[in-house]
Structure 1
């Protein structure tokens, strides 16, 4: 198992005092080793870049990451998928979906937005899957459906974005309404007129949070 050394190096960087702070920030939902992002990523960045060049896709590694207790291992799994996303095919989307649903919270879920978005860009037929995801019971799957086009800019499929958001209007879930606001705010940097029109047409069904976030740059 090529990744054992990664796990050992992360364990060696354990910082109990910092772990307490990180756990508190995440509302004590997860245990932490206490490693900040830069030294954590320094442990595996070169290996992940090489894996991408070698056309490797190792979901056993990702599963091993999420099987560990501390959150830094989960971050490593997400960072791996981001690093090798160009090697993924549409057949891998169910595996990515499993990752979204494992020990879910905004930090890992939002990290996987880019992985899903990359797949949808390469395989446009997955747009229908995103519409399906936008109707799922799992709020994290729906959140990724809403936000998977973040940073797409002029490549954004506004018909798809509009349909997905409308499937999640009249919602009381904070993480859904926040995601709606973020998706609109991000796209407003590219097409503020479209976002302003969408908000005006759907204002009665949108949460104040979504409107506030979506209108930030208008």
Structure 2
């Protein structure tokens, strides 16, 4: 049996759209930027999205496509999977376990940050400011104490861009599980994520952020990131 027999039709279409755009010189530079953790085709974001847009536009949530992209060697395929998932306006909370598996596989900041936004969409935009009973809120709370550092990062930054719809208690809980002295509290990617989440919220709720920083011992990196826009 040919190995391609087990691949989804959508993935085969994506591959056919991307392969002609391969650029070996760009691929080498992109791999170096990502610490040579992944192979690349050498396709930048805009042409990649343009090439696959007609394919993704025809599909609702397509897990066979997502997993085929995730198992592919070139990193651009994981980016396509992330683009597809972010097209889902409200991600189904019942499928967050599958999203966690993606976050914890082939993990690096690029894929994790993309998927964190998907997790945040599962909360919805009209959710009450604090709703511990919300199924997505319960999952993200558990992620904040996950055995995997990248899953924790996703929990911390899952509400980026939510502004007034931010669940402040969920954000506080996620951060408090990852302050210095906790299991991953001294990791760069965690300290940076906390600072990013606070900086983003500062735009719409500076008093909450300043109060949180006064009450909690955060890493110096976190504080610098959080207060970038503070005057």
- Which of the five TM-score ranges fits, normalised by the shorter chain? over 0.9
Q: How does 1:12-31 map to 2 (within 5 A)?
A: 12-31=20-39
Conserved in 1, the CA contact under 8 Å of 2:192 and 2:222?
Answer: yes
C-alpha contact (below 8 Å) 1:32/1:71 kept by paired residues: yes
Cα root mean square deviation, aligned: 1.4
1:91 aligns with 2:94: yes
Question: Could you tell which deviates more after superposition, 138-147 or 122-131?
Answer: 122-131
1:74 aligned residue: 78
Calculate the TM-score normalised by the size of structure 2: 0.87
Q: Is 2:193 the partner of 1:185?
A: no
1:28 CA displacement? 0.8
Q: Which residues of structure 1 form unaligned runs of 5+?
A: none
TM-score (norm 1): 0.93
Query: How many Å apart are 1:45 and its aligned residue?
Result: 1.2
Find runs of 4+ consecutive structure 1 residues off by over 4 angstroms. Answer: none
- Show CA shifts across 1:8-31 (max 9, x none): 221111100011110111111111
| 1:4-19 mapped onto 2 (5 Å cutoff) | 4-19=12-27
- 2:210 is aligned, of 196, 209, 213, to 196
State the shift of 1:87 in Å.
6.4
More helix by share: 1
Counterpart of 1:136 in 2: which secondary structure?
Answer: coil
Aligned residue in 1 for 2:188 = 174
- The answer (yes or no) to whether the contact 2:11–2:68 under 8 Å persists in 1 is no
Aligned match of 1:143: 153
Gaps of 5+ in 2: 1-8, 128-133
The aligned residue for residue 114 of structure 1 is 117
Query: Are 1:41 and 2:55 an aligned pair?
Result: no
TM-superposed CA distance for 1:125, in Å, is 2.6
Q: CA deviation at 1:126?
A: 1.8
CA distance in 2, matches of 1:128, 1:68: 31
Contact 1:33 1:70 in 2 (8 A): yes
State how far apart, in whole Å, the 2-side matches of 1:165 and 1:74 are: 27
Q: How far apart, in 1, do the equivalents of 2:42 and 2:24 lie?
A: 6
- Contact residue 147 and residue 180 of structure 1 kept, 8 A: yes
Count matched residues.
Answer: 211
C-alpha distance in 2 between matches for 1:23 and 1:2:
26
Question: Residue in 2 aligned with 1:165?
Answer: 175
| Alignment partner, residue 130 of structure 2 | none
Secondary structure at the aligned position of 1:86 is classed as: coil
Aligned to 1:210: 222
